Amino acid sequence: MDRRRWRPRVQELSVLAALVAAAGAFADAAMRERGVPRRLADTGLYSDFASRTIDPRNLPYSPQYPLWSDGAAKSRWIRLPPGTAIDARDPDAWAFPVGTRIWKEFAWSRRVETRYLERTRRGWIYATYVWAEDGSDAILAPEGGVVSAQDLGAGRRHRIPSVADCLACHRGGRSEVLGFSALQLSPDRDPLAPNAEPLRQGDVTLDALVRRGMVRGLPRYVLERPPRIAAATPLARAAIGYLHANCSLCHDSVGPMRSLGVSLRHSLRAKDPRDEPAAGMIECPTRSQPPGAAPGSIRWVAPGAPASSAVVTRMQSRSAAAQMPPLGTQLVDAQAVALLRRWIEEDLGSPAR
């Protein structure tokens, strides 16, 4: 093996490790500053925990491009303090008011964990609550995380992340809040989005939030036309949307990973497929090449050739040295891999692309 080819991958992992370490120190300080409730029942999610009745002040929502979480069914809620609103003057990076609370529940055949975020005056606090197997209670997980009892198959179990892992992802991009944005809440939903979650009764969308005065300052072009991925085909729209949700947490033109050179983050300003930042990954060589590959043969996306496309080979790997995303998942997202392969073969492999 030519170790020089793998130096960029080592650099990538080193940056991630530094993020995790810094996040852990920040998390420890924040947890000491405010005593995080020991029980989920005390965070404000439920008006009556015994009956599992959600407090009506907590608004449910479903992002159109959900983050892959090993097939978990997820429920999400957000609460803003009375009289406050999200500052959306930068439509690609919303600023949330102090006192914002967000919950995300993960379930397979039963509830397994519920993650909790709260913005304090010193910053965001992150916590995870582990559900008892009989569903009787949910208790604060250790800050270092824990391997849960949930069997995922293939000899793997669901891992409840450490606080440092949470911050490494949430603090790596432009906004600490993931999955709650103009694109994710757009009423113009993508029917091909992998692992799509249909809107449920009561789910808030972008237009509903604007009507309620909970989102203020959006530019006129966002208000006049529901946000949508600028793409030449339905396959491309879904593929770029998936990469935005699952990969742009790190692969962005800002933040600690910007040196990797490719951004997969959708921009609301993109009106043409060529304006999407992700268009830059097509035919772009990767800095690292796998053993045995000819120099320059592996590209971020190689038109017509999924096997030579790093986005596909990384997504379908669960090797610690290669998998993408590097955190938060144990299983390959087969539906998304199939979508990316079709897009690369059918759309980009055509001479008319």
pLDDT digit string, tens, across residues 233-254: 999 999 999 999 999 888 887 7
pLDDT at residue 40, rounded to an integer: 98
Q: How confident is the model at residue 352 (pLDDT cuts 50, 70, 90)?
A: very low
**Per-residue pLDDT for 30 more than 90?**
no
Name which of 24-33, 76-85, 130-139 the model is least confident about: 24-33
pLDDT at residue 33, rounded to an integer: 45
pLDDT at residue 149, rounded to an integer: 83
Q: How confident is the model at residue 289 (pLDDT cuts 50, 70, 90)?
A: low
pLDDT at residue 259, rounded to an integer: 64
Reference 170, options 336, 10, 325; nearest CA is 325
pLDDT at residue 17, rounded to an integer: 43
**Per-residue pLDDT for 230 more than 60?**
yes
Collect all residues with Cβ–Cβ distance below 8 Å to 238 and sequence separation of at least 6.
190, 192, 193, 194, 339, 343
Name which of 5-9, 172-176, 275-279 the model is least confident about: 5-9
Collect all residues with Cβ–Cβ distance below 8 Å to 202 and sequence separation of at least 6.
59, 60
> What are φ and ψ of residue 76, in 5° steps?
-135, 150
Instruction: Encode pLDDT of 101-139 as tens digits.
Output: 999 999 999 999 999 999 999 999 999 999 999 999 999
Instruction: Encode pLDDT of 150-195 as tens digits.
Output: 999 988 999 998 888 887 777 766 778 989 999 999 999 999 999 9
> Which H helix or E strand runs over 314?
helix 310-315
pLDDT at residue 221, rounded to an integer: 92
**What proportion of the chain, given as a percentage, has pLDDT over 70?**
85
The Cα 31–Cα 74 span in angstroms is 25
| 292: exposed, middle or buried (Cβ count in 10 Å: 0-12, 13-18, 19+) | exposed
pLDDT at residue 204, rounded to an integer: 97
Collect all residues with Cβ–Cβ distance below 8 Å to 35 and sequence separation of at least 6.
none
Reference 272, options 302, 312, 311, 236; nearest CA is 236
